[in-house]
Amino acid sequence: MAEQQQAPEKKARQFDLTSPEWYLNRELTWLEFNRRVLHEGQDARTPLLERIMFLSIVGSNLDEFFMKRIGGLKQQVGAGLRKLTVDGRTPGQQITECYEVVRDLLSQQQKLEGQLLGLLAKKSIRIVNYHQLTKAQKQEVEGYFLENIYPLLTPQGMDPAHPFPFISNLSLNLLVSTRFKEDDHVYLNRIKVPTGIGIPRFIQIGKGPLYVRFEDVIANNLAAIFPDMVIESCELFRVTRNAITEKTLDQANDLLAMIESALRDRKFAEIVRLEVGSCMTPNHRGMLTAELGIDKDTDVFTVDGIMGKCDLFEIASIDRPELHYPPHQPLDHYRLAGDSPNLFHVIREEGAILLQHPYESFESSVERFLKEASVDPKVLAIKMTLYRTSSDSRVIQYLLDAAQNGKQVAVVVELKARFDESANIHWAGYLEQAGVHVTYGVVGLKTHSKVVFVVRRDYNGLKRYAHIGTGNYHAGTARMYSDLGLLTCDQDIGDDLTELFNYLTMGYAPARKYKKLLPSPKILKKGLLNRIEHEIEYHRKEKNGLIQFKTNALEDKDITKALYKASQAGVHVDLLVRDTCRLRPGIEGLSDNIRVISTVGRFLEHCRIYYFKNNGNEEYYIGSADIMKRNLEERVEVMTPVEPKVLQVELRKILDVQLKDRRGAWEMQPDGTYIQLQPTARGEQRSAQEQLMEMAEKRLAEARRLFKKKSKKKIAKRKRK
């Protein structure tokens, strides 16, 4: 019998990892993230006022997108740059494709606004037009206008004697056409709507939940501004300016002066977007585009509903508990609850602590760490990096207290934290006046790391304590962002932080060796690439390779390429990437071992976790860096290992819960689109964030139970004596 002819082996497909087709575009994937955010507003499972909040967030995100991303791309176009991105697009192509997606998003956003306002009305929360008010209500509003708004208004004429006025970024403006009763000559006037100075965008009528828009009140009381004149038209518009105004560092002798200059430049930066009301006439639209120097066909966006939807957060904040998420109060960390002793003793005697915000309190952990350091007589020095903080945070006060108590306090302030430059300049000056040593990091690099470093004289000599986090030292965002922090007195980490702060305060980089930390720009990227390569090598031998990353963005080409190679070698890769992601999962022979999940929910996912199975000797890292070229090569970031097994178990639970989420999770498809995962079994209706809240409650309850049990034993022991 003749032998059966064997089928030829299927030849493995060869992939050119430099080809643009394997890389998604940064800007387009970020816009897709906003599509997922908008969906939370479209999802009927989300409480009604929270749906309004998501609508507002998308509006704010798109404002920032035009200021930062479109602004930067327009600068490249203006400079004649045609260099292709890793995904093969020129700056001009990116703008064109982004505009197409943005217009679709705006259309969906507008449709959702109408639906949500209708649902609010059914719940007796109404935002009405001025003409819908009763006569009595109009009289009430007119009185409010004359007393609180009219004195703030500055109408500006536009004629040969009054040139076109400066239009500030994101300001609401009324273009008013007027004429005298017996004259056909039309006068054009601009009135800036003075939002943000104590008057809400949505003005409440009476004591009930009835609101009218600020600009609508002005538009219907123009007779007070233009007495005895005919109001021909009143049209709303808004401009967005480019926020990319940094000067090259070698042109500035003083960094502080350079940043202050850049802030002034941003105020007068070029226009990148004009929003106009749908009722604006073609003539007036053309006049505005000509005066503002923009393209009337591409840079003008018509808004049918509420212009500046970011202000809807005022409505989302209405106190109607049944229309919000169930109340969430951050809990004390289970090891810091109750009458826990000196925090430094807890860390030294019981080991490192992993903090999970907002499930666990920022106030009773991070702020407490600084507070105790500021008054502890054994603490000699406090060093800290400050990227963003809030006016209501106690962080600044504790640093001032420490300086007044005679401790050496050094703060590295990042002046170029986008949109927080002015606040950081203020804090820097405030700290310096109190005797705090303030520096601004390394020229050419943003200091984005999140570190507090404390030197304390313990009973057995000097000991170094630290908090290393994934989020800013900002009390407000600590309640809304999902972040991690490590409190530790590990000696090697302390040695590394001494080196790091010497680098930051000196401003230049002699050779420094780090034992455990992975700082950028010199070490972190190499460290990640080496660990990915090691995982490939271990998998070839043991077939047990596993890489899991949780990050806000995956944009760096080299890391993306390395993860493709890991998948081709058979290593399983789980990526929890909130927004921008260049990598395309699920492509046979290239990325079929890679899964990409994006989580959108009540809290903004912000923490970074990097896990390598490492042939059973597992490695977990947390820190400030996303997998972006700017984070890895142009910033000072810090990633720290989390080595205690009990803390690794906590990180494992976070990763597992998020990877199993079927309420707030979206899975990327090979073409870069996302599909929202749906619950398929009982218990899957709860999101990962809801489960993490419950896990924090259980940890605290168990700690309290054990504490009571120990207390009873102590009492019983005393009684026996």
Residue 12 lies in a domain: no
What is the structure's pLDDT at 390? Answer: 72
Residue 330 lies in a domain: no
**Averaged over 247-262, what is the pLDDT?**
47
pTM for the whole structure:
0.92
**Averaged over 383-390, what is the pLDDT?**
85
Report cis status (omega within 30 of 0) of the bond before 670.
no
Q: How far is CA 654 from the centre of its chain?
A: 20
| pLDDT per position as a tens digit, 180-222 | 998 889 999 999 999 877 789 999 998 889 999 999 999 999 9
For 198, other C-beta atoms within 10 Å of its C-beta total 8
Q: Are 354 and 468 in contact (CB under 8 A)?
A: no
In the predicted model, is pLDDT for residue 252 greater than 50? no
What is the structure's pLDDT at 13? Answer: 80
Which residue has tokens 């008057």? Answer: 199
- The candidate with the shortest Cα–Cα distance to 201, out of 238, 227, 234, 164, is 238
Task: Indicate the SS3 state at residue 315.
Answer: helix
In this prediction, residue 11 has a pLDDT band, given cuts at 50, 70 and 90, of: low
**String of DSSP letters for 113-167:** HHHHHHHHHHTT-EEE-GGGS-HHHHHHHHHHIIIIIGGG---EEEBTTBPPPP-
Q: Determine the structural domain holding residue 260 and report its residue range.
A: 20-323
Q: Copy the structure tokens of residue 705.
A: 């139970």
What is the end-to-end Cα distance of the chain in Å, rounded? Answer: 94
In the predicted model, is pLDDT for residue 34 greater than 60? yes
| pLDDT per position as a tens digit, 674-699 | 999 999 877 788 999 999 999 999 99
Choosing from 448, 474, 539, 606, which is the catalytic residue?
448
Instruction: Indicate if 453 and 486 belong to the same structural domain.
Output: yes
Provide CB contacts within 8 A for 34, sequence distance 6+: 58, 61, 62, 65, 105
Percent helix, strand and coil across the chain, each to the nearest 5: 40, 20, 35
d(CA 430, CA 435) in angstroms, rounded, equals 9
- The candidate with the shortest Cα–Cα distance to 355, out of 699, 611, 600, 691, is 699
Instruction: Indicate if 252 and 401 belong to the same structural domain.
Output: no
| pLDDT per position as a tens digit, 87-108 | 999 999 999 999 999 999 999 9
Q: Are 171 and 156 in contact (CB under 8 A)?
A: no
Q: Are 545 and 569 in contact (CB under 8 A)?
A: yes
Instruction: Indicate if 139 and 187 belong to the same structural domain.
Output: yes
In this prediction, residue 162 has a pLDDT band, given cuts at 50, 70 and 90, of: confident
**Averaged over 566-570, what is the pLDDT?**
97
Residue 691 lies in a domain: no
Please identify, among 475, 494, 512, the residue that sits at the C-terminal boundary of a domain.
512
Domain count, the chain: 3
Instruction: Indicate if 502 and 524 belong to the same structural domain.
Output: no
d(CA 365, CA 332) in angstroms, rounded, equals 8
Residue 67 lies in a domain: yes
Which of 238-252, 253-267, 337-351 tops mean pLDDT? 337-351
- The candidate with the shortest Cα–Cα distance to 36, out of 692, 581, 685, is 581
What is the structure's pLDDT at 685? Answer: 87
Which of 257-266, 390-399, 650-659 tops mean pLDDT? 650-659
Instruction: Calculate ∠ Cα 250-255-258, nearest 5°.
Output: 80
In the predicted model, is pLDDT for residue 16 greater than 50? yes
What is the structure's pLDDT at 7? Answer: 46
Instruction: Assign residue 658 a region (left: φ > 0; alpha: ψ between -120 and 50; beta: otherwise).
Output: alpha
Instruction: Indicate if 402 and 539 belong to the same structural domain.
Output: no
In the predicted model, is pLDDT for residue 242 greater than 80? yes
In the predicted model, is pLDDT for residue 317 greater than 90? yes
Residue 579 lies in a domain: yes
**Averaged over 622-627, what is the pLDDT?**
97
Residue 409 lies in a domain: yes
What is the structure's pLDDT at 422? Answer: 65
Please identify, among 457, 487, 512, the residue that sits at the C-terminal boundary of a domain.
512
In the predicted model, is pLDDT for residue 501 greater than 70? yes
Instruction: Calculate ∠ Cα 37-40-45, nearest 5°.
Output: 170
Looking at the DSSP assignment, which residues form a beta bridge with residue 202?
213
- The candidate with the shortest Cα–Cα distance to 529, out of 439, 612, 635, 592, is 612
| pLDDT per position as a tens digit, 465-491 | 999 999 999 888 999 999 999 999 999
Q: Copy the structure tokens of residue 200.
A: 């809400």
What is the structure's pLDDT at 4? Answer: 46
Cα-flanking dihedrals φ and ψ of residue 128, to 5°?
-115, 160
Q: Copy the structure tokens of residue 679.
A: 């619950």
Q: Copy the structure tokens of residue 639.
A: 């990633």
Q: Is the sign of the CA dihedral 641, 646, 649, 651 positive or negative?
A: negative
| pLDDT per position as a tens digit, 502-516 | 999 887 666 678 999
Residue 703 lies in a domain: no
| pLDDT per position as a tens digit, 632-657 | 999 999 999 999 999 999 999 999 99
Instruction: Calculate ∠ Cα 711-712-717, nearest 5°.
Output: 100
Q: Copy the structure tokens of residue 493.
A: 């980490």
Instruction: Indicate if 417 and 469 belong to the same structural domain.
Output: yes
What is the structure's pLDDT at 413? Answer: 85
Rounded (10°) angle between helices 91-122 and 71-78: 160
Instruction: Indicate if 284 and 233 belong to the same structural domain.
Output: yes
Please identify, among 496, 512, 528, the residue that sits at the C-terminal boundary of a domain.
512
What is the structure's pLDDT at 2? Answer: 44
**Averaged over 38-57, what is the pLDDT?**
98
Cα-flanking dihedrals φ and ψ of residue 576, to 5°?
-100, 95
Which residue has tokens 């105004």? Answer: 245
In this prediction, residue 244 has a pLDDT band, given cuts at 50, 70 and 90, of: confident
Instruction: Indicate if 114 and 212 belong to the same structural domain.
Output: yes
Q: Is the sign of the CA dihedral 463, 467, 473, 479 positive or negative?
A: negative
In the predicted model, is pLDDT for residue 566 greater than 70? yes
Provide CB contacts within 8 A for 280, sequence distance 6+: 175, 235, 236, 237
Q: Are 370 and 340 in contact (CB under 8 A)?
A: no
Residue 5 lies in a domain: no
d(CA 664, CA 36) in angstroms, rounded, equals 10
For 293, other C-beta atoms within 10 Å of its C-beta total 9
Q: Are 177 and 233 in contact (CB under 8 A)?
A: yes
Residue 412: give its domain's CATH number.
3.30.870.10
Instruction: Indicate if 459 and 536 belong to the same structural domain.
Output: no
Instruction: Indicate if 185 and 117 belong to the same structural domain.
Output: yes
Residue 103: give its domain's CATH number.
3.30.1840.10
Instruction: Indicate if 374 and 305 belong to the same structural domain.
Output: no
| pLDDT per position as a tens digit, 415-460 | 765 555 666 677 777 788 888 898 887 878 888 999 999 999 999 9
Considering only 71-85, 406-420, 437-451, which range has the smallest mean pLDDT? 406-420
Average pLDDT, rounded, for the chain:
91
Q: Is 162 a known active-site residue?
A: no
Instruction: Indicate if 291 and 433 belong to the same structural domain.
Output: no
